[in-house]
Amino acid sequence: MTLLVTFGSILLIVLALLTLSILRSKKALLSKHNSVVYQDQIDEIKRDVDRGLLSKDEATLLGIEIQKRLEKAPAEDLDQAHRDTPITKATILTCILLITIIPVTTIATYNYLGSPTKPDLPFASRKVPTPVNTADIEMNKLVNALKKRMNANPEKIDGWLLLGRTLSTLKRFDEASNAFKRAFLIDSSKAQIATSIAETLFMARSGLFKDESRKYLKIALKLNPREYKALYYMGLDLARQNNYREAVQTWVNLIAISPKEAPWLSNVRRQLAEVASTGNLTISQFIPQLNSTERKATLPPRGPTQNDIKAAQEMSNEDRQAFIRSMVERLADRLKEKPNDLNGWRRLARAYRVLGETKKAEQAEIRIKKLKN
């Protein structure tokens, strides 16, 4: 309360000074105006003497008279101002506006922003403008270009696969599943394509398995029983249906055939332990039904596939640049989640060099040196 009284007093004093200043400004202005006029008259007399229009005697007499008026001007003008310059309505209106607007605006602003009774505004609840993701803008341009191309050449399977992967990156899963379905119609022998359909359908339904996604998972595993991603999603679906024994067996099979450096292993092992515990099962009692020696286990490609590269070669220069940059951005985002991936940083550094982004390449190379040490 004391603080409000203090600020209020200061505000009233300032308003009073401003009002007095406005009321007196007209009078002071008149005095100053007359003094300037007299000085100009003296200067004019000097110029007339120089031009020969006045004699020195005449100039002296006129100068004395003007000087006397000049010396008397402040007192006379101030007195005349008090008598002859009434305060106008405009002046009164200005004073009223100052006296009302300033206090009202100050109080309103304080009540909105500075009142102690006003609740906090946590940062998380504030409406902060979302920064524009330039990578997504480029990817959207690429999607539009790909759609036009695929409408003109619908028999190109590589284009549908690239479109599906690009839409998946943008989390437009419904559209992505449709693109993969078009590719699967062209070649129904690829288990990876069937798995991509099942995965995007699963993501499009907010992480729920529906009959259609289950159908494509079964197709994928019929085409290739060792399809990594299909095995993972099949195990997840079985676990959610409380079929814990089949889920454990499926994930045991997946672990048996997966490469040692497979990035999904830690997640699968964690979920396997949870499901086995829920189902009161012992993991060691489950024998893998798939042998890792049947075929050399290799990781699926982490960068653009050969099909992606082939499809990119058919693009315009602008679309190809957008495609390359989108792939680089995907790699950079992946390395934020896995900052210790040395090979990933090497690929990123090379990609930045190719794109001519020297500073980013140098930063990636610094990261490589730290990982080596």
Q: What is the pLDDT of residue 185?
A: 95
Residue whose structure tokens are 């099979």? 253
What CATH number is associated with residue 358? 1.25.40
pLDDT in tens, the chain (373 residues): 565 666 667 767 766 766 666 655 544 444 555 566 666 667 776 776 676 655 666 566 666 666 666 666 554 444 444 444 555 666 666 666 666 776 667 666 766 666 566 565 555 555 554 544 566 677 777 788 888 888 888 898 988 988 898 888 888 999 999 999 999 999 999 999 999 999 999 999 999 999 999 999 999 999 999 999 999 999 999 999 999 999 999 999 999 999 888 888 889 999 999 999 999 999 999 999 987 654 444 545 454 555 555 555 555 565 556 666 667 777 787 787 778 888 888 878 887 876 778 888 888 888 888 888 7
Q: What is the pLDDT of residue 97?
A: 67
- Max Cα-Cα span within the chain: 133
296 within a domain of the structure (yes/no)? no
30 and 110 housed in the same domain: yes
293 within a domain of the structure (yes/no)? no
295 within a domain of the structure (yes/no)? no
151 and 103 housed in the same domain: no
18 and 112 housed in the same domain: yes
Quote the tokens at residue 59.
Answer: 């100039």
18 and 151 housed in the same domain: no
CB 265 within 8 A of CB 255: yes
146 and 270 housed in the same domain: yes
Quote the tokens at residue 291.
Answer: 């042998």
User: How far apart, in whole angstroms, are the C-alpha atoms of residue 78 and residue 122?
Assistant: 60
H or E element, residue 59: helix 56-84
Quote the tokens at residue 145.
Answer: 């270009």
Q: Domain total for the chain? A: 3
107 and 150 housed in the same domain: no
Q: Identify which of 342, 331, 350 has the alpha carbon closest to the alpha carbon of residue 368.
A: 342
105 and 151 housed in the same domain: no
H or E element, residue 110: none
106 within a domain of the structure (yes/no)? yes
What is this structure's pTM? 0.52
291 within a domain of the structure (yes/no)? no
78 and 48 housed in the same domain: yes
133 within a domain of the structure (yes/no)? no
What CATH number is associated with residue 165? 1.25.40.10
H or E element, residue 322: helix 317-337
160 and 220 housed in the same domain: yes
23 and 110 housed in the same domain: yes
192 and 316 housed in the same domain: no
The boundaries of the domain holding residue 44 are: 2-117
203 and 330 housed in the same domain: no
247 within a domain of the structure (yes/no)? yes
CB 47 within 8 A of CB 61: no
Contacts of 296 (CB under 8 A, 6+ apart): none
Residue whose structure tokens are 């997504």? 136
Q: What is the pLDDT of residue 170?
A: 84
Q: What is the pLDDT of residue 348?
A: 83
